A and B are shown apart, each in its own frame.
Chain A
Amino acid sequence: MAATRSPVKQAIEKANRAQAELDRRLFHLKALHDTACELSVLTQPRRIMETFLLTAMGLFGVSRGITAMVNVHTGAVFCVQRGLDQSEAQACEQHLCRVAQHHLTEDNLPRYPEIVQPGRPCGQGLFPSDTAVLLKQKVDGGYALLSALGPRYHRLPFADADAATLINLAATMGNVLAQNLFHREVQHLSAGLMRQASQIEDAQAQAGTARATLDRQVFHLQTLYDFTAELSPVVATDQLVETFLLTVMGTFGAAQGCVLLCNRQQRVVRFAGRGIPGSRDWSSEAAEKLLYSGFQAAESGRLAPMSAVFIRDPHSVFPPPALGFEVHSAVLFTVDETLLGIVALGELLKRETVLATEARELLLALTVNWMAFLKNARAFETIQALNADLSRTNDDLRRTIDDLTEAHHRIRILEIAKNRLKQLIQREVERAGRLRAADVILMAIIAVALALGFNHYNPHGITLAPGTVSADRAERIDVPSAHQLLSDSQAVMVDARPPELFQQRHIAGAINIPATLFDVIFPMKLAPILQPDRAVLVYGRTISKHYDDEVAQRVLQRHERVMVMEGGLEAWEKKGLAVSP
């Protein structure tokens, strides 16, 4: 009985075991199916790995397990665990990271999950020491998937069927993860594409803006270039003002416009206007007042040299009576501290209430550019003035040089004169101390000249030659004849010498009639005794004076027979004739 029951029993047991095996397989298949269904709807890798781990742990009665997805390129580890301590989980994560960097490559990973050392404790430190089964597999996208499960309840070993189921489960998880990663990659790429498309759109918009800006700048530059080319040959300030006004009005399409330029230093105001009825003379005070109003309403509080600024609300700042028209836009500019002004435009043809930003920039650029020319023109005018001054200075210098040349000439002449004077002084110094024959001769010449000149005009003047030389000489008679005539009383003897000499010695019986006293003595002494037949004998002469001739000539004027006795007293005495005393 026992023998019979035994085969049946054995068959039943075998059938039961087969049934149990089939049930278990069915259960495993259902679990696989359910897991596949569940995983297929999951979108997050963490959820997929958690679902796999929980399914595997529940399916095989395991209390501890861990699944790690390692990026073989970067070494990044993403773990999902159940039943492990925090320290064990961290240790696993660190170990896996190290292993992934050194040992896990795409080449040595199986496409399909493989069980590594099934049923034996895992490597030291890599997974918990009680790890019962370890799976490794490759996931598309450069990932390695490592899964470890702890021991089963009741320490049941993993049968082949369990291993196959686990591999299938892991394969399913790998596929789902691969799909998920692929899907994520696609999403990432799509997002990147979307982002790039957006960036391209932004770049296109920026390019459009840049193009518009470039076009505007090109227009501005062209306008500035034309403006510069037009202003280049102009050097006169008035012409610059006129040209600038016409250019600005033409560029912005203004019906009216004006430019007011005020030179504070010279107190000169230049005003140019177009489209304004009437004309107006601007005083310096009125221009200053207008500029002050402009400064009060300037958009920028401080205006540096060579800069321009728009004026806020120019309609109210410059009412129509101020400039002669309704101001649409106005710019205040400063060339330097002494030269500043206002550019004002009337209603625009475009009927714009406010100038566009680009137009404002252009107007400011034109104004600043124009100011540079204005400054140059001012410098040119200054240079011209300096040139004029220089020319005048040159003329003065030339005159000064002429004067200096003349002065030099004079100095040279004076030097020569000085040298001559010096020589003269030296000569005079030498002469002063010594006797010179020339001085004596000169004195003699001067004395002769003065003597002759003075004698000519002197009423008591005398002749150079004695008077007896030129007069008619009286008849001569020798001493014996004279003595004979005296003895015969036919003659009268007259002594013509001065009384002193007469008194000293004279011929006996002679009458003394000196020439100087002739007019007095003749009538007294000689005239009474003078008879026509009696001769008058005159004697007396010295080396210096011919008294006898002189007296004889005077007696001759009164008496005919007058004779001069030759030899005089000396000859008389030599004859031994009588003398007295």
Chain B
Amino acid sequence: MKWGLVLKHLLFHPVLGLVLRVYIGGVFITASMYKINYPGEFAETIASYQLVPYWAVNVMALVMPWAELIAGALMVLGVRTKAATTVIAAMLVMFSLAILITLLRGIPIGCGCFTSVEDPLSWKTFWRDILWLIMSLHVFFFPSALQLEGRMIKSLQEVEA
């Protein structure tokens, strides 16, 4: 019982929220860096999944890394956290589904999550994304410390008072 309470306390602790927020945000920022610089390679990666229509591949390769960067940055800073987390969670769901489909289809391709040269796609990659998705849901539903927006609003409220 006591351990249960401690675990519950740790699970809902804002610092844990902060750690998960920074971790997931950092992962997405890191992942976006290479893709932003080399959109052509990312487009090849997207195409290798054989899920996106060919006319949408380039657009997706251009926009998705920036969405990852913006959402990751907002998530780390704690600005519009719920919206950023929602975007990230949506992308993780999309990635997980893509990986799952690709694994089931048996297409031998690399993940392309961070760079174009990676190990071939595996179930490990899928469960990793599922774990990140759970972390994102934790960030979405539970409070986290050091949110810039919250502190700024608190300061504005103090100035207004």
Contacts and interface: CB of A to CB of B under 8 A. Distances in A.
Contacts, number: 122
B57 interface: yes
Contacts of A469: 55
A148 B58 CA distance: 182
A263 B80 CA distance: 81
The secondary-structure label for the interface of chain A is helix
Nearest to B59: A464
Interface in B36-93: 36-40, 43-44, 46-55, 57-59, 61-63, 65-67, 69-71, 74, 80, 82-84, 86-87
A422 B150 CA distance: 16
A443 B67 contact: yes
Given A458-B37, A464-B62, A543-B51, A504 B157 contact: no
A401 interface: no
B119 interface: no
A436 B160 contact: no
B120 to A, nearest CB: 8
B70 to A, nearest CB: 5
A199 to B, nearest CB: 104
B149 A432 contact: yes
B117 interface: no
A281 interface: no
Interface stretch (A222-230, A444-452, A474-482): A444-452
Nearest to A469: B55
A107 interface: no
B107 interface: yes
Contacts of B108: 500-501, 503-504
B1 interface: no
Given A436-B83, A462-B43, A545 B54 contact: yes
Contact of A465 (B36, B44, B55): B55
A516 interface: yes
Contact of A440 (B83, B149, B153, B157): B83
A500 to B, nearest CB: 5
Size bracket, chain A contacts: 35 or more
B5 interface: no
Contact of B57 (A451, A466, A503, A504): A466
A305 interface: no
A444 B83 contact: no
Interface in A414-440: 418, 421-422, 425, 428-429, 431-436, 439-440
B49 A544 contact: yes
A452 B46 CA distance: 18
B156 interface: yes
B62 A543 contact: no
B109 interface: yes
Interface string A451-475: 1101100101111111011000000
Nearest to B109: A500
Contacts of B46: 544
B58 to A, nearest CB: 5
Interface string A405-421: 00000000000001001
Contacts of A422: 160
A428 B82 CA distance: 13
Nearest to B157: A425
B44 A425 contact: no
A546 interface: yes
B49 A451 contact: no
A234 B62 CA distance: 98
B46 to A, nearest CB: 7
B98 to A, nearest CB: 11
Interface centre among B55, B74, B83, B107 (most CB of A within 10 A): B83
A490 B67 CA distance: 50
A557 interface: no
Contacts of B86: 435, 440
A544 B66 contact: no
B40 A439 contact: no
A542 interface: yes
Contacts of A433: 82
Given A469-B55, A543-B51, A462 B160 contact: no
Nearest to A463: B58
Return the 6 tightest CB-CB contacts between A and B, nearest first.
A439-B83, A544-B47, A545-B47, A447-B66, A447-B67, A435-B82
Given A421-B160, A543-B51, A546-B54, 15 more contacts: A425-B160, A435-B82, A436-B83, A439-B83, A450-B66, A451-B62, A460-B38, A465-B55, A466-B57, A469-B55, A500-B109, A501-B108, A504-B108, A544-B46, A545-B54
Interface of B: 36-40, 43-44, 46-55, 57-59, 61-63, 65-67, 69-71, 74, 80, 82-84, 86-87, 107-109, 149-150, 153, 156-157, 160
15 contacts: A425-B153, A428-B149, A432-B150, A439-B82, A446-B70, A447-B66, A451-B63, A458-B39, A465-B55, A498-B48, A498-B109, A501-B107, A504-B108, A544-B46, A544-B49
